[in-house]
Amino acid sequence: MKITKKSAAVLCAAALFITSGCSDNNGISSGISEPDVAGSSDVFNTSGAETIESGAVSEEDIMNSLNSGIIIDGVSGNVYKNEMNANPISPNIFCADPTAVEYDGRLYVYGTNDHQQSEEGTKNDYAHIKSLVVFSTDDMVNWIYHGRIEVGEIAPWIYNSWAPSIVSRVEDDGLTHFYLYFSNSGAGVGVITSTDPVGPWTDPLGAPLVYQNMPGLENCPAPFDPGVCIDENGVGWLSFGGGTPSEGSTMHTKIPKIARLGEDMLSFDSEFVSIDAPYFFEASELNYIDGVYYYTYCTDWQDHKIGWEEYEGIDVPPACSMAYMTTKTPLDADSWEYRGAYFYNAGENSGGVSGLRWANNHTHFLEYKDTNYIIHHTLLLEELMGGTAGFRSMMVDYLPIDAATGEIPITAASKKGVAQIKLIDPYADNSGALMFTCADIGYDKTTNPAAKSTADGAWIYVRGADFGYGASEFIAEVKGKGRIEVRLDDISSEAAAFIEFDCSDYTKIRSDSFAPFDGRNHDIYFVFSDPYIELKSWRFSKGDEQLRQEENIASTDIPYKTLVFSGQSEPGPSPSAMFDIPKNGDYSIKSSSFDKESAVLNLGFINTDVDAEYKVFVKSLTLETENGQVEIPVNAELDPASSSENGLENGWCGSEVGALIYGTEECGIFAMETEIEWISYRLALKIDGEEVPFTSITYNVTVSGLDFNE
């Protein structure tokens, strides 16, 4: 959407600039002496910040906001992860194959950098990926993007860097050392190390730790996908392996391997032992929990029913699902016990088809703050963007493990994800890259990058901050020229505060006021007036002396209804569009793409909700063609509570072949002949009498009657 910016005053930037590279209202520096609030683990340390002994930022480092009258009269609609769902982790970075480690109260998650491949503009064949990505959280829903680990620069000998696995251990020097193992393409395993979870990283070996055809390693066509753990004695263990035999059954390939690591975590202290993992394919990972070693892996795509009788009492693992095995003696090959599948492929769940796309599968599970989680990847972010190139996104869901028995019932990926476990401390210095979701925000290729707007009206959403003492001002470290507004709870609300600036270097800017507001728990939107504005860090100053009444953290949840349009085309895939509706209003919901040669047989039913009192009015359909978009008026009201009145036209509705269904004779959707025997007609777009193929459907709807207070 277009943003209009009006300047109420013409300022001479050259005259206002001072040594910091930014100016305030009066051309002089000013600041506050309010101390930071201790205890937040979203604290973000920025280089060059001057602090006094009490912890307050010194006055000369904070400058007053300009007030040149910039108006932001629109916000970007380029948001793909909405404010209701905690998945995927990142709203703007493609990443996969997650692993995690806890350090200093934060959970750090690492993954394959699919985004590097996406920058090549090709389908995701993984060939260009030579970096990993790092995120962290302490509340499980707001994540800081810490940037890329440039493995190709750290270890120039690699082919690629995929599928990391990480552990940490306090060594004799008193420091915590991080050991990050990664797939060197499919050819082996490398390892890099650091004494900080974000880096810098070094390559201690200068060569792979595991490689194809190394001595003692047989029957392992692709010795990649490492999984590492450290047991209660401080001993490290590494599993790896991938691939299937060139012929024959994949029931008992014994391809995956495990070995004990040397004391240095950079060598082996045992032979390689095969694990008999039924229907093994890839994605090895290790966990050590209460004296038990858990080995997890991804099964292959074959029919797993053949020969499954030997696992009596255990369900057949679904295709490309995650399964697990346990032992207390990992070097005894016969001691490994198959326990079952514990995580479906993204494409299915216990009810059958999940609504997400099928993809490869890779998981890691962990306990954090007394709760068990599974981190995994899907194609969800790319789906939401309408892409089909295979770029993945990392997700978090709950892992229902029984600590007493080690049993893990099978679960599935969800869009909703997990709940927030603590509130953001708004009075601490928080990273500008901390967010739940965003629109038109990017980053530079640096460690701990600032968030950078890429368009007018870009914005960042942070869920659930605890304003126990209200707020008197907003302070942010920024670079660029323009305005950032703070809006609470709703992006369309009036700005509670703003800062304006014109800075060539990172500079702390303070707002001149903060609008009064009630309550304690609030979501935060940062709205940017212009592109190329960088937000490095932010915080608020307290406004009240008395602590406000406590509110339940659940108040940060946003209720919604999920609206799913399910169409049908032959051959598939069929168009499907899913959207979460938080309030009454107008929405445009784009379907997944389908082949232009497909016969469209059903324009879409919405999911039935027998208790629904809301209505869905379909104003029009926007069809994607090779020559652009074509909008067709529909004007049909759908009833979600009725299974017969909740759909648009389909090929068995009884219309005559050649009849106009929606639109006009000059440009509309018509019932047309089809060679498919079980249906009466197909639905085609005709413009001036000629058929025009289309490859997706956007449903332009108005939702009314929603009431979440019932």
pLDDT digits (tens, 9 = 90+) for 365-400: 999 999 999 999 999 999 888 788 999 999 999 999
421's CB contacts (< 8 A; 6+ apart) are 139, 140, 369, 371, 553
Cβ proximity of 232 and 291 under 8 Å: yes
Question: Distances from the Cα of 650 to the Cαs of 29, 590, 682, in angstroms?
Answer: 67, 18, 8
Question: What is the per-residue pLDDT for 7?
Answer: 33
CB count in 10 Å sphere of residue 64: 21
Cβ neighbourhood burial of 486 (10 Å; 0-12, 13-18, 19+): buried
pLDDT of residue 46: 36
Supply the pLDDT for residue 582.
Answer: 86
Lowest-confidence pick of 334-343, 511-520, 587-596: 587-596
The residue to which tokens 């216990």 are assigned: 350
Split at pLDDT 50, 70, 90, the class of 589 is confident
DSSP 291-305: TEEEEEEEE-SS-TT
C-alpha 228/C-alpha 235 separation (Å) is 11
Q: What is the mean pLDDT of residues 425-441?
A: 98
DSSP per residue over 554-574, as a string? GGG----EEEEEEEEEESSPP
Long-range contacts of the stretch 216-221 (C-beta < 8 A, 24+): 216/271, 216/272, 217/257, 217/272, 219/253, 219/254, 219/255, 219/274, 220/255, 220/256, 220/257, 220/272, 221/255
Please list the alpha-helical segments (H only) found in 100-170: 114-118, 151-154
Among 35-39, 75-79, 163-167, the range scoring the smallest mean pLDDT is 35-39
- Which residue type does 43 have? V
Distances (CA, A) of 287 to 135, 220, 366: 20, 22, 8
How many CB atoms neighbour CB 372 within 10 A? 16
| From 531-535, 569-573, 602-606, the region with the lowest mean pLDDT | 569-573
- Cα–Cα distance measured from residue 196 to residue 161, given in angstroms and rounded to the nearest whole number: 20
Lowest mean pLDDT among 510-524, 580-594, 679-693: 580-594
Quick check: 672 pLDDT over 50? yes
pLDDT at 244 over 70: yes
Q: Residue 548 is encoded by which pair of tokens?
A: 């406000």
Q: Is the peptide bond before 204 cis (omega within 30 degrees of 0)?
A: no
Q: Do residues 484 and 565 lie in contact, with contact meaning Cβ atoms separated by under 8 Å? A: no
pLDDT at 300 over 80: yes
DSSP string for 243-267: ---SSS-STT----EEEEBPTTSSS
Task: Look at residue 228 in the predicted model and tell me its pLDDT.
Answer: 98
| Whether residue 290 has pLDDT greater than 50 | yes
**585 CB contacts (<8 Å, ≥6 apart)?**
702, 703
Going along 138-207, which residue ranges are E strands? Answer: 143-149, 162-170, 176-183, 188-194
> Of all residues in the chain, what percent carry a pLDDT higher than 70?
91
Q: Percent of the chain at pLDDT above 90?
A: 79
Written as six digits, the tokens of 442 are 């990017």
d(CA 36, CA 41): 12
In this structure, the number of other CB atoms found within 10 A of the CB of residue 300 comes to 20
Which residues are bridge partners to 477 per DSSP? 508, 537
Residue labelled with tokens 């440039």: 150
Q: Maximum CA pair distance of the chain?
A: 83
Q: Mean pLDDT, to the nearest integer, of 656-667? A: 96
Mean pLDDT, to the nearest integer, of 329-353?
95
pLDDT category at 335 given cuts 50, 70, 90 is very high
Whole-number pLDDT of residue 1? 32
Quick one: average pLDDT of 281-296? 98
What is the mean pLDDT of the segment spanning 20-34?
Answer: 39
Q: Take residue 192 and report the two structure tokens written for it.
A: 């890099």
**What span, in angstroms and rounded, lies between the C-alpha atoms of 286 and 293?**
7
Over its C-alpha atoms, the chain yields an Rg (Å, rounded) of: 28
List the structure tokens of 628: 């652009």
Q: Can you give the length of the chain in residues?
A: 710
Arithmetic mean of pLDDT, 283-302: 97
Q: Hey, what are 360's tokens?
A: 């490869």
Query: pLDDT tens digits for 255-268?
Result: 999 999 999 999 99
Check if the beta carbon of residue 317 is closer than 8 Å to that of residue 338. no
Query: Taking 70 as the threshold, does the pLDDT of residue 710 lie above it?
Result: no
CB neighbours of residue 126 within 10 Å: 18
pLDDT at 318 over 90: yes
Q: Give yes or no for residue 50 having a pLDDT over 60.
A: no
26 by Cβ neighbours in 10 Å (0-12 / 13-18 / 19+) ranks as exposed
Residue type, 504: S
What integer is the mean pLDDT of 481-504?
97
**Chain mean pLDDT for the chain:** 90
Q: Count other C-beta atoms under 10 Å from residue 558's C-beta.
A: 15
Tokens of 40: 């937040």
pLDDT reading at 530 higher than 60 = yes
Query: How much is the average pLDDT of 304-327?
Result: 95
Residue 16 is predicted with a pLDDT of 31
pLDDT for 10: 27
Which range among 111-125, 139-153, 341-355 shows the weakest confidence by mean pLDDT?
341-355
Model pLDDT, residue 58: 53
Does the structure show a pLDDT above 70 at 468? yes
Q: Which residues contact 174 (CB under 8 A, 6 or more apart)?
A: none
Of 201-210, 518-527, 548-557, 613-622, minimum mean pLDDT range: 548-557
Does residue 3 have a pLDDT over 50? Answer: no
The pLDDT score that the predictor gives to residue 548 is: 98
Q: Identify the band that residue 59 occupies on the pLDDT scale cut at 50, 70 and 90.
A: low
CB 161 within 8 A of CB 110: no
Count how many Cα atoms sit within 13 Å of the Cα of residue 672 in the half-sphere of its side chain: 16
- At residue 253 the predicted structure's pLDDT band, cuts being 50, 70 and 90, is very high
